[in-house]
Chain A
């Protein structure tokens, strides 16, 4: 008796149908996710472009009445740049040094493990809680008052974990051979880190820092509780209430008249442009650096 040859039958209709249905659902999910993005960007551009003029970029809201047209966000843009810049000045050194400690010195010490754990915890702190902390600590207990710097402190708390995590990841990517080669030449450890390991990871670290800056640049809640807000230009981030661009949008959006809402849209457009630009530059640096492209 001979064995009948194996026959490969067609995949049954119901199995093919299920496969097709899931394919359709997966495409649908992606479409559903993209719709709000397009809607948001479209409305921000459409409604924001009208007031996106020189006056908006060069004037503050000082002496602009509730129903008046005109006015601008110069004070808010200036405030945001100062606050975010100060936040970066605080969080980048602390974040980078922490990452170096975790990767190069920490090994499996108890201290390193608890730092690593609390960096994760810090990632999950709601931004409004960071604002409340600075309010409680800086404004209420120390009595130092609302200022751009207080806002920067709150933003730096939100930035720090992102900087640590991305820098840590980049430092771990540096091949051990480089470190060993350097030790073999008699170079001390700290010099190996600053002269060999750090420069190797530099572009990746810059990308992480830029993404962290982009993330905090759009934060509103911590600013609300720490920089207060003002309609006038305040160039000094260490003294008196300042404005921030996200706060400006929030403030204008709550006013029940068309001219204010128009300003809110234009503020949103400016804010998105700043954030997207930071994102884009970060991705370009990463893309230009990374040898392995793909998914």
Chain B
């Protein structure tokens, strides 16, 4: 809309300046985050007596600091992927349930129940994981290890509640609501005419969903999954309480090994020397870049489809 041109108001300039300024502040904050993380990471990286990318151990507080991101980045990726594998099918089911199965009157309320999962603070999930989930999973893990130990993920001599797997379960619960919410929005926007046409041709409800809703929603679901993945990677406090906090690279997710970038920052900060803090900031920078890539890819997928305009969370 164009501004009426006949008279300039005295307030117009300052107001316009304030709104534009606020927008620029947002850009400045993003730039500042990148700049200050880099500035504080460099001294620690220079003091590092080992390769930051390849080294597994993390002893930045020692007189000869040695630290590397390899084990932490590996733990971050594998725990988030596991969480996504567990959360995605359930989230799609929930989204379909709310968009196409639940009674209409109930759908809104049921959606709210799922949103409540997202409202529970992560530290509460962490507490729940430590006190309830860790003892609770011992039995199922033993079962998995005994009968499915031939799968590398479940291999190992002993199983532990305090493991990557338990952290992944908690992460799965935490990212489920966001994946379900975006998928639900996308499924609801599937063209009504297509749905009705397939029903009119005699399709059952599942056939209608498989042939007209799911193909339409697929890019949206993919991008929802990636946003969920990004969130799982950045999640800190819940996994800081649960992960075993050792610096190993192992696929044995039931063993007492593993850590993640974010969990290591939360657990290592208290005793960090200045070099240690710089090392943690450097690892945070890596986390920032990884989540940035994942999130941007997700946004690009969702932005390409104009139909999804309402779904961008």
Q: What is the interface of chain A, defined by CB distance below 8 A to chain B?
A: 11, 15-16, 18-19, 22-23, 25-30, 32-34, 36-37, 39-41, 43-44, 47, 93-98, 100-102, 104-106, 111-112, 114-115, 117-130, 132-133, 135-137, 140-141, 157, 160, 164, 176, 179-180, 183, 186, 188-191, 193-194, 214-215, 217-221, 224-225, 246, 249-250, 253-254, 261, 264-265, 268, 271-272, 275-276, 279, 283, 293-295
Contact = CB atoms under 8 A, between A and B. Distances in A.
B93 A126 contact: no
> Which of B116, B180, B209 has the most CB atoms of chain A within a 10 A radius of its CB?
B116
Contacts of A32: 90, 93
B202 A246 contact: no
Contact of B125 (A19, A40, A105, A264): A40
Given A32-B90, A293-B108, A218 B97 contact: no
A26 B108 contact: no
Interface residues of B, number: 101
Interface in B120-162: 120-128, 130-132
B130 A102 contact: no
Nearest to A40: B128
A294 B108 contact: yes
B contact face: mostly helix, strand, loop, or mixed = helix
A253 B89 contact: no
B222 interface: no
Contacts of A265: 127, 131
B23 A98 contact: yes
B68 interface: no
Given A33-B180, A220-B236, A190 B295 contact: no
B128 A26 contact: no
Given A29-B90, A135-B281, A125 B291 contact: yes
B116 A37 contact: yes
Contacts of A191: 9, 11
Given A25-B93, A176-B1, 12 more contacts: A112-B23, A119-B26, A124-B295, A125-B33, A189-B4, A220-B121, A220-B237, A221-B240, A246-B123, A246-B237, A265-B131, A279-B116
Nearest to A269: B124
A218 B123 CA distance: 8
A22 B206 contact: yes
B233 A118 contact: no
B273 interface: no
A176 B1 CA distance: 9
Interface string B103-121: 0100110111110110111
B287 A126 contact: yes
A136 B39 contact: yes
29 contacts: A15-B204, A19-B204, A19-B207, A32-B90, A37-B117, A37-B120, A43-B128, A98-B19, A100-B19, A101-B23, A102-B23, A114-B27, A122-B26, A124-B294, A125-B33, A126-B262, A128-B262, A128-B266, A133-B32, A157-B29, A157-B33, A160-B29, A188-B4, A220-B121, A220-B236, A249-B123, A254-B241, A268-B121, A295-B99
Contact of A295 (B40, B111, B127): B111
Interface of B: 1, 3-4, 7-9, 11-12, 15-16, 18-27, 29-30, 32-33, 36-37, 39-40, 89-94, 96-99, 101-102, 104, 107-108, 110-114, 116-117, 119-128, 130-132, 173, 176, 180, 188, 202, 204-207, 209, 227, 230-231, 233-237, 240-241, 262, 265-266, 269, 277, 280-281, 284, 287-288, 291-292, 294-296, 299, 312-313
B185 to A, nearest CB: 10
Given A30-B94, A275-B121, A250 B22 contact: no
A128 B285 CA distance: 11
A29 B97 contact: yes
Contact of A271 (B18, B121, B180, B266): B121
Given A115-B27, A141-B40, A160-B26, A33 B90 contact: yes
Contacts of A272: 120-121, 124
Contacts of B240: 221, 250
A132 B32 contact: no
A30 B204 contact: no
Contact of A250 (B18, B120, B123, B202): B123
A83 B284 CA distance: 23
Contacts of B90: 29, 32-33
